[in-house]
Amino acid sequence: MNAAEPKSATRRRFSAVVRGRAAIALLVTACLVLVGVAISGRAPLPAGLQFTQVGHWVYSNELQSAIHVDGGTNQVDARASVPGAEQGSQVAQGDRSGYVVERSRISMFDKSTLSVENTATPPATETPVVLESVGGPYLVYRNAGQIARLGDPTATVPAGGPLSPPVVTSTGTLWVHRIDNGSLCELPKGTTRLACPAQLPAGHGGLLALVDDQPVVLDTAADTLSPIGKDGLGEPTAIGVKLPATAQVANSAVDGRLAVADPERNQLHLIDTTGLGQSRPAAKPVSVELPRDGRYAGPVATTHVVALVDETRNEVRTYDAKGSLKSTKKMPGKSDKTRLARGEDNRVYVDSADGAHVLVVNGDSGAVTEVAVDEQARNQTTSAAAPPPSSERADNPPPASPPPSKPSAPPVAAATAPGAPRNVSAAAGDGSATVNWVAAADNGARVTAYHVSWPGGSTTVGGGARSASVTGLAKGSSYTITVVAENSAGRGSGASARVLIQGPPAGAPGVSVNAKLGGQVSASWTEPDLHGATLLHYVVSATGKGDQQVSGTSADFSGMSGAVTVTVRAVTRYGSGPALTGATGRGSATVPTEPPTIKITKVLSWDVVLYVSVTVDGKGSETTCEVTGNQGGKSGSVPCKGSLDIKVTPGNWAGALTLTATVKSAGGSGTDTWSGTPQVKPPGSSGGVPIWLGPIALLGARREKDKRGKEKGVS
């Protein structure tokens, strides 16, 4: 690369070089062995076929090779020579190729031939985060804000700013968090542009993780956990522990709890995620004390255990979701810095800095096994290159023999029915379920279909599918769903998962709140949409009060003050399933501190109608007002607040006029009285000389008006 070459050209060159790999790769039916051993039984890979990567590749500094470790057998079983790579290089794998990743170079080798095919220049000169997944692998250059996808299609995607540690789902969607502006962005499999559906508030730190294979963000400023969806952030759940900005979160949850390492307190917190998005409090976190003088890398989670490395002691520690220590094991030799990675085979692999040793963490039990990488690779190489027996040396040649006949082709093993699909799981929906699995062993013939069955129905999906949707299931019922793989030799054995079908939680009740003088507050609500579930009870709380269970649709509170908000949630159940807490309904009111007051400020008369101006102070409560006269006539009860005019219908006025204004609220009532002669003036008029009329004149004016009305009616 020319030093003057622009970065954009470098990125284009990077993508073009990686795309230049062989168009057709071969599927090896025999086990991969060390370099020099013949590979047989290869066949073209069907387009679009996806694999769960088995095992882990590590770069050995001494042997200058990428070496494959089978986590199931804890044995070295393949070696690709990649000379000249820098110490501590990472190795990533895709469906067909492996990649030795250095800061200044990426070397691609074919996993079937174990030979280097190409090299490329990375988009940034820093050590990236490597994520192996469907559609990947991905290299995330956090400081430079660049994402390199080595899978099909290869691409370099700019993120626009520095990133926190990324995560990737089982479907190949990469999620990243922009540190500078809080954006939470996704890069789905096969796409080349980020979409950012959510954003953290300014000044809040965020750590990404997966819960049930869905992205969540841990807000280290608010100490909350929120799901991320297409419409933004979901309802936050308090995690129950204060975290520093330096906290480190695991890639995914372990049996309903998310592991978070606190390096400042040397603690491992296991945070409850089972109530995420369900509007109910989370369970108290489990906190584990770690050795006080330790310096920790990780954590990294599998299905049932979480692993982290105490770099001070050069030791791997594993825990389950309850915080129980499952295993500890030291990394052999001296290592400046270890590297943890979760494989797609549900194991954690811990590499020594020189690649000479790998510790394999069992994803179910937490047991840790050492693999002496360099030693195994050297022994296998020595065995393959052993010198001939002394009788075959040049100074003692063997007797002549006839020329060898042409070797026959090795026998091809007959294909058998596939194995059972692995890791079958089912997630309940609203009268439905989504079933997921890991590919079954093909046993010599490509899997062409997966058959999914349950009591009352079945469906079939293609051999490349890893999930299926099941609909028409009865709410409140449990189902056993079985998945069976099929190839040209027939159907294999099935694997099952059990799931309880539920509908959605209840909707939000409509809540009304009434507050009275003396701190008495009463609330009532309407029954929400239960979606066909059985109502168990309501959970009701008011400002400053704890939750209480209520079977009816009303509740009273005493000793309240100020602004009061009452929340109501319906708790329901489908059949024998767990209780579900519904959406929250809210209502508010202000507790009055004293009765309301009213003041008559002006009385106007026009056309035998009185207009009484009043000023009302409700003391924080809703009020109604009424004006009555001593000679008949009244306004009726009207809502009132602040300054307003109240219209009083005609009464039998004669002599001195007295008006009484009354205001009422939940805090009590108040009155004001006015006596005198009204000012005659059209309502809403401005200026002019007021006309003052005594009671007799007012009565005459009224009679004159009545007379004119009668005459008009006669004519």
**Weakest mean pLDDT among 199-203, 571-575, 662-666, 693-697:** 693-697
- Residues 6+ positions from 600 with CB-CB distance below 8 Å: 612, 613, 614, 659, 661, 672, 673, 674
pLDDT digits (tens, 9 = 90+) for 466-505: 999 999 998 878 899 999 999 998 998 888 998 888 788 9
The amino acid present at 400, given as its one-letter code, is A
Tokens of 133: 């997944």
C-alpha span between 65 and 79 (Å, rounded): 6
Query: What value does the mean pLDDT take over residues 176-204?
Result: 89
- What mean pLDDT comes out for the span 347-352? 94
- Nearest-angstrom CA–CA distance, 148 and 128: 9
Short-list 310, 271, 266, CA closest to 290: 266
From 26-30, 378-382, 601-605, the region with the lowest mean pLDDT: 26-30
Contact between residue 251 and residue 300 where contact means Cβ atoms under 8 Å apart:
yes
Dihedral pair phi/psi, residue 307, rounded to 5°: -120, 145
Cα–Cα distance between 449 and 488 in angstroms, integer?
A: 10
pLDDT at 411 over 50: no
**Mean pLDDT, to the nearest integer, of 52-58?**
82
Backbone φ and ψ of 630, nearest 5° = -75, -10
- pLDDT-based confidence at 351, cuts 50/70/90? very high
* pLDDT tens-place string over residues 4-31: 444 444 444 444 433 443 332 333 333 3
Domains of the chain: 422-439+449-500 (2.60.40.10), 511-590 (2.60.40.10), 597-706 (2.60.40)
Average predicted confidence (pLDDT) for the chain: 82
What's residue 382's pLDDT? 56
Largest CA distance in the chain: 155
Q: What pLDDT score was predicted for residue 577?
A: 75
Instruction: Give the pLDDT score at 484.
Output: 95
* pLDDT recorded at residue 276: 82
329 vs 587: CA distance, rounded Å = 57
Least-confidence region, from 4-8, 74-78, 118-122, 624-628: 4-8
The arithmetic mean of pLDDT across residues 666-673, rounded, is 89
- Give a three-class secondary structure readout of 285-297: CEEEECCCCCCEE
Q: Helix or strand or coil: residue 700?
A: helix
Return phi, psi of residue 516, to 5°: -120, 165
Say how far apart CA 108 and CA 139 lie, in whole Å: 14
d(CA 234, CA 276): 9
Give the side-chain half-sphere CA count within 13 A for 450: 29
Q: How confident is the model at residue 652 (pLDDT cuts 50, 70, 90)?
A: low
Place of tokens 């109604």: 624
Which residues have a Cβ under 8 Å from the Cβ of 519 and sit 6 or more positions away? 558, 559, 560, 561, 591
The reported pLDDT for the residue numbered 654 is 66
The three-class DSSP label of residue 544 is coil
Out of 52-56, 137-141, 579-583, least confident range? 52-56
| pLDDT (0 to 100) of residue 409 | 36
Average pLDDT over residues 77-99: 91
In this structure, are residues 57 and 66 in contact, taking their beta carbons and an 8 Å threshold? yes
Q: What is the per-residue burial (b if ≥16 Cβ within 10 Å, else e) of 243-273?
A: beeebbbbbbbbebbbbbbbeebbbbbbbbb
Most confident region among 131-140, 422-431, 651-660, 698-707 by mean pLDDT:
131-140
Write down the pLDDT at residue 706. 52
Three-state SS at 414: coil
Q: Taking phi first (over 0 means left), then psi (-120 to 50 degrees means alpha), and beta for anything else, what does residue 9 get?
A: alpha
Query: Which of 30-34, 147-151, 710-714 is predicted most confidently?
Result: 147-151
Q: How confident is the model at residue 612 (pLDDT cuts 50, 70, 90)?
A: very high
Residue pair 437/465 in contact by the 8 Å Cβ criterion: no
Q: What percent of the chain has pLDDT over 70?
A: 81
pLDDT of residue 24: 28
